[in-house]
Amino acid sequence: MLQQALERARAGRKEAESDFFEFLAIPSVSSLRRHDDDTRRACGWVAERLTRMGMKVEVAEMPGGRHPVIAAEWLGQPGAPTVAIYGHYDVQPVDPVDEWVTPPFTPTVRDGRVFARGACDNKGQVLAGIKAAEHAFATGGPPVNLRFLIEGEEEISGDSLPRFVRENAARLKTDYLFLADGEFTAPGLPNLLTALRGLLYTEIHAVGSTADLHSGIFGGVAPNPLNTLAHVISALKGRDGRITIPGFYDPVVPPAPEEVEGWQRLPKDEATLKQLMGVTALEGEAEFSPVERTWARPTLDVHGVIGGFIEEGSKTVIPARATAKVSLRLVPDQDPEAVFRALEAYLPQLTTPGVRLTLEKLNSASPVVCGVEHPGIGAASRSFKQAFGAEPVLVREGGSVPVTIAFKEALNPNLLVTGFGLPDDALHSPNEKMDLEQYHRGTEMVLYLLDELVAAS
Amino acid sequence: MLQQALERARAGRKEAESDFFEFLAIPSVSSLRRHDDDTRRACGWVAERLTRMGMKVEVAEMPGGRHPVIAAEWLGQPGAPTVAIYGHYDVQPVDPVDEWVTPPFTPTVRDGRVFARGACDNKGQVLAGIKAAEHAFATGGPPVNLRFLIEGEEEISGDSLPRFVRENAARLKTDYLFLADGEFTAPGLPNLLTALRGLLYTEIHAVGSTADLHSGIFGGVAPNPLNTLAHVISALKGRDGRITIPGFYDPVVPPAPEEVEGWQRLPKDEATLKQLMGVTALEGEAEFSPVERTWARPTLDVHGVIGGFIEEGSKTVIPARATAKVSLRLVPDQDPEAVFRALEAYLPQLTTPGVRLTLEKLNSASPVVCGVEHPGIGAASRSFKQAFGAEPVLVREGGSVPVTIAFKEALNPNLLVTGFGLPDDALHSPNEKMDLEQYHRGTEMVLYLLDELVAAS
């Protein structure tokens, strides 16, 4: 049946492209109210396709949400694993629109690539999964139980899908979650994500005197919250990149040897990173490679310091209070809550006389382990090899993708986080595109994957 | 002749008060264009009085200046010292005007105090000197050669007087400069200023990458100029208040023993300062008293940090560049230029990998030593004792008074820096006042002083 489905996919490329362009022509910009009807139209377009192929489709409006969640289900393979495919039907705004060679919602093919907003992020990628399901249903049905969980609030960090997943966890049992919303590491080189860093974003508030003071009169005895914050920040992370919060590194799990080995072959050496950032030297822990530092090591950064005088010129004010925005990137198995409590307990040791420090949490996200040992990894690797002719490299992500945390916490599926885009796809930028070959092979990859997951389970 | 002058002063108190009120009624707010004519009228009023008593008066408009300088001269005592009296005829704005009990330019006496803008700062104090000269001229002439150097740009930090003094230094020879623009330490307790701290106000610019970076992607290898500035600021001044710039303390001259001894009797102990500032502890060098720390020790303060994200909420930006406004208060005999160069040479040691630091000077002022050993100090002490019944305490000033530096550098006179105001005179605030008794006794003090300076020289 896999062969039949693949043949159907190969024969139906023309139709798959016209489906793709139809989807791309809907300006589903989730952040803009004037596109609310369009965004809803995109939701309907997806729901209709899923219904047509025989899935049970639910379009769920969540309280306080902007755009509905699409949850499709087909449980026709008792005993086989259940695979959920994630995606989103909303897109980024198109500004600056003048920089588009062709209009963002008039999909235009040049050199085998379709240019349109959302081509790569995420319409082409989610549609590859939908088309794969279509072909499977048309040729005897998928070999696995299948779900789609598709949202319309990815670009606005909406809570509808995380909430839907949390509230319906009991009936959403899922063995594998497939999430394709990223890019190949290089042309011809797919990847699989094994972990994402978490985040703890805080404000450290420092309070000295009851009112601003003049440094001519009081300089030498007046506690200066800005000087204090400098001491605190300097003490929190040494010049060697090492964070000093007691117990901070205890839960850190080193990456698997096969991950680290693969990273050495990536085009992410020191020279490349220096050029990319435009810096003369990298900072951080010298005993770890640059890739390890951004993917597998926690770090701490200051994002802004509020307080005192920041206009042009000079004012000799000692501010009564000041605030530093400080965030920590966390890695498996660090817990944002535990780090917050450890930092809060540590701060009193770092202050200076007369300055009281308080810590406020603005937001946080747990690090996510996708794992390298569950059977889906091998299945996905073989599927990539078959569809694209290359095995994926195991990579990580330095930032967090909140939806993965929601899935992980509610459903705890084996995560397969990857992407069919290419590094030059211009996500979020003018002239976003997707190579049609990537789209078609992505469809085939999903077909292989459904088959491989049965074999692997 | 002193006795005659004193008797004339005592007999003429009524007239001295009507002169005072006439001067106060002129709204000479130097910062406001709509008061330019009034400010000029105050200048004319002073110049006319000085001319009338027989002095040679020059009203000098300086290029680029807002309000003219009054330079009056009488050199009728060859062989006697030359004494210059400083003052200013301009006043602060009156906002918030609603908080005045009586209108700011309608001088009103309540309980022996005259309420009006400029009563203490500086009209009452400069007029005390002018009235003393009037009485001296009316009773045989002053015992010294006399100058007045009176400006109209004190409240706007104008350069007219400093420039006039620099450009005419050769013909302005002066042995003593008397500057009364301050307040008693407490009622009944006059003071003499022995030194003022200087200032070096800088911006430390830190540059990392060529563009802002995302901490999810680059956190761990990206140089963060805000973290670097924290390291720099933390390293520049320890938690013990000690500044680490090499050689920084070498030129520091400790205060004279008689100064330190006097300071112990001042109401400036730790508890008082804590209450005044509203802090739980004082910062700074524990081995020095709070008074020494603010008057006789250099210090370093951060006034603001520019860069990154300071709006509400969280943004995980690693800024490409950041700037800290950092000033140093300096004491005799530290040289702002030398400190600037030492700091500039020191910064490369304090940076972190990938961040380039540059130092910019925004402004500077040399510390000023008024001295405790020149004969004017004893003369002024005896004059205070005779006029007010109390000897002055030797104090310092933590901030700088730029005009003292101009005089010092151009004319190098023995400085007598003091004041006839009281701590509750509300300078720069609503309901500014001056006690009429302070004004009259101030006049007598100047008469005693001119006499004592002859005896001392």
pLDDT mean for each 10 residues of chain B (457 residues): 97 98 98 96 98 98 97 97 98 92 98 98 98 98 98 94 96 97 94 95 97 93 98 97 98 93 89 94 96 97 96 92 98 97 98 98 93 92 98 92 91 97 92 97 98 94
Longest alpha-carbon distance in chain A: 86
- Residues pairing with A195 in the sheet: A369, A396
Type of residue numbered B314: S
The fold for domain B2-196+367-456 equals Aminopeptidase (3.40.630)
Distance from CA of B243 to the nearest CA of A (A): 11
CB atoms A227 and B398 under 8 Å:
no
Residue A152: the pLDDT is 98
CB atoms A230 and B234 under 8 Å:
yes
A299 contact B CB<8A: yes
Contacts of B309 in chain A (CB under 8 A): 303-304, 325
B394 CB-near residues (< 8 Å, 6+ apart):
B191, B192, B194, B256, B258, B259, B262, B372
- Judged by CB atoms within 8 Å, which residues 205-264 of B form the interface with A? 208-211, 213-224, 226-227, 229-235, 237, 239, 241
State the angle between helix axes of B124-138 and B2-11 in degrees (0 to 180), rounded to the nearest 10.
120
CB atoms A308 and B294 under 8 Å:
no
Contacts of A290 in chain B (CB under 8 A): 220-221
- Residues pairing with B204 in the sheet: B324, B359
Quick one: what percent of chain A has pLDDT higher than 90?
93
CB atoms B224 and A304 under 8 Å:
no
CB atoms A313 and B362 under 8 Å:
yes
pTM of structure? 0.88
Report pLDDT digits (tens) over B215-254.
999 999 999 999 999 999 999 999 999 999 999 999 999 9
Residue B371: the pLDDT is 82
Cβ pairs bridging A and B (under 8 Å): 276
Strands B356-365 and B176-180: unpaired
Interface with A, mutate which of B279, B315, B349 (most A CBs under 10 A): B279
* Cα distance between residue A237 and residue A233, in whole Å: 7
CB atoms A219 and B279 under 8 Å:
no
Residue B206: the pLDDT is 98
Residue A268: the pLDDT is 87
Find the length of chain A.
457
Is residue A142 scored above 90 in pLDDT? yes
Contacts of B218 in chain A (CB under 8 A): 273, 277, 294, 398
Domain ranges (residues) in chain B: 2-196+367-456, 199-252+298-365
Point out the residues of A that are catalytic: 90, 154
Q: How far apart are the first and last CA of chain A?
A: 18
Q: Does domain A198-252+298-365 have CATH number 3.40.50.1370?
A: no
Contacts of A280 in chain B (CB under 8 A): 354, 356
Residue A161: the pLDDT is 97
Q: What is the 3-state secondary structure (H, E, C) of B210-255?
A: CCCEEHHHHCCCCCCHHHHHHHHHHHHECCCCCECCCCCCCCCCCC
Check: CB of residue B297 under 8 Å from CB of residue A220: yes
Residue A371: the pLDDT is 82
Residue B125: the pLDDT is 98
Would you call B273 helix, strand, or coil by DSSP?
Answer: helix
Shortest CA distance from B319: residue in chain A: A303
Interface with B, mutate which of A252, A302, A329 (most B CBs under 10 A): A302
Point out the residues of B that are catalytic: 90, 154
Residue A402 — pLDDT band, cuts 50, 70, 90? confident
B428 contact A CB<8A: no
Check: CB of residue A136 under 8 Å from CB of residue A5: yes
| Mean pLDDT on A351-356 | 97
Check: CB of residue B123 under 8 Å from CB of residue B91: yes
Quick one: what percent of chain B has pLDDT higher than 70?
100
Report pLDDT digits (tens) over A188-226.
999 999 999 999 999 999 999 999 999 999 999 999 999
Shortest CA distance from A227: residue in chain B: B302
CB atoms B399 and A229 under 8 Å:
no
* Domain B199-252+298-365, CATH class in plain words: alpha beta
* Cα distance between residue B281 and residue B283, in whole Å: 7
Residue with tokens 């003091």: B418
For residue A100, give both structure tokens. Answer: 């588009």
Interface with A, mutate which of B210, B218, B368 (most A CBs under 10 A): B218
B22 contact A CB<8A: no
A231 CB-near residues (< 8 Å, 6+ apart):
A350, A351, A352, B230, B233, B234, B239
H or E element at residue B440: helix B436-456
For residue B96, give both structure tokens. Answer: 């918030």
Distance from CA of A302 to the nearest CA of B (A): 6
Is the Cα dihedral A83, A89, A92, A96 positive or negative? positive
Nearest to A115 by CA among A127, A125, A105: A105
* Residue B187 CA: distances (Å) to CA of A251, B150, B392, B407, B438: 65, 27, 12, 29, 10
B309 contact A CB<8A: yes
* Cα distance between residue B16 and residue B134, in whole Å: 10
Shortest CA distance from B352: residue in chain A: A239
In this prediction the ipTM stands at: 0.89
CB atoms A297 and B218 under 8 Å:
no
For residue B5, how many other CB atoms are within 10 A of its CB?
28
CB atoms A234 and B230 under 8 Å:
yes
Check: CB of residue B176 under 8 Å from CB of residue B413: yes
Would you call B348 helix, strand, or coil by DSSP?
Answer: helix
Is residue A267 scored above 90 in pLDDT? no
For residue A361, give both structure tokens. Answer: 């949490």
B285 contact A CB<8A: yes
* Residue A323 CA: distances (Å) to CA of A223, A341, B202: 14, 19, 22
Distance from CA of B441 to the nearest CA of A (A): 28
Nearest to A309 by CA among B431, B23, B362, B155: B362
Residue A350 — pLDDT band, cuts 50, 70, 90? very high
Residue B49: the pLDDT is 98
Distance from CA of B244 to the nearest CA of A (A): 14
Contacts of B284 in chain A (CB under 8 A): 220-221
Report pLDDT digits (tens) over A8-58.
999 999 999 999 999 999 999 999 999 999 999 999 999 999 999 999 999
A303 contact B CB<8A: yes
| Mean pLDDT on A382-402 | 94
A319 CB-near residues (< 8 Å, 6+ apart):
A208, A212, A224, A225, A226, A307, A308, A309, B303, B304
Residue B400: the pLDDT is 85
Q: For chain A, what is the total number of helices (H) and then of strands (E)?
A: 14, 18
B265 contact A CB<8A: no
A154 CB-near residues (< 8 Å, 6+ apart):
A30, A88, A90, A122, A161, A181, A403
* Cα distance between residue B230 and residue A234, in whole Å: 5
Check: CB of residue B428 under 8 Å from CB of residue B92: yes
With 0-12 CB in 10 A as exposed, 13-18 as middle and 19+ as buried, what is A311?
A: exposed
* Cα distance between residue A314 and residue A322, in whole Å: 18
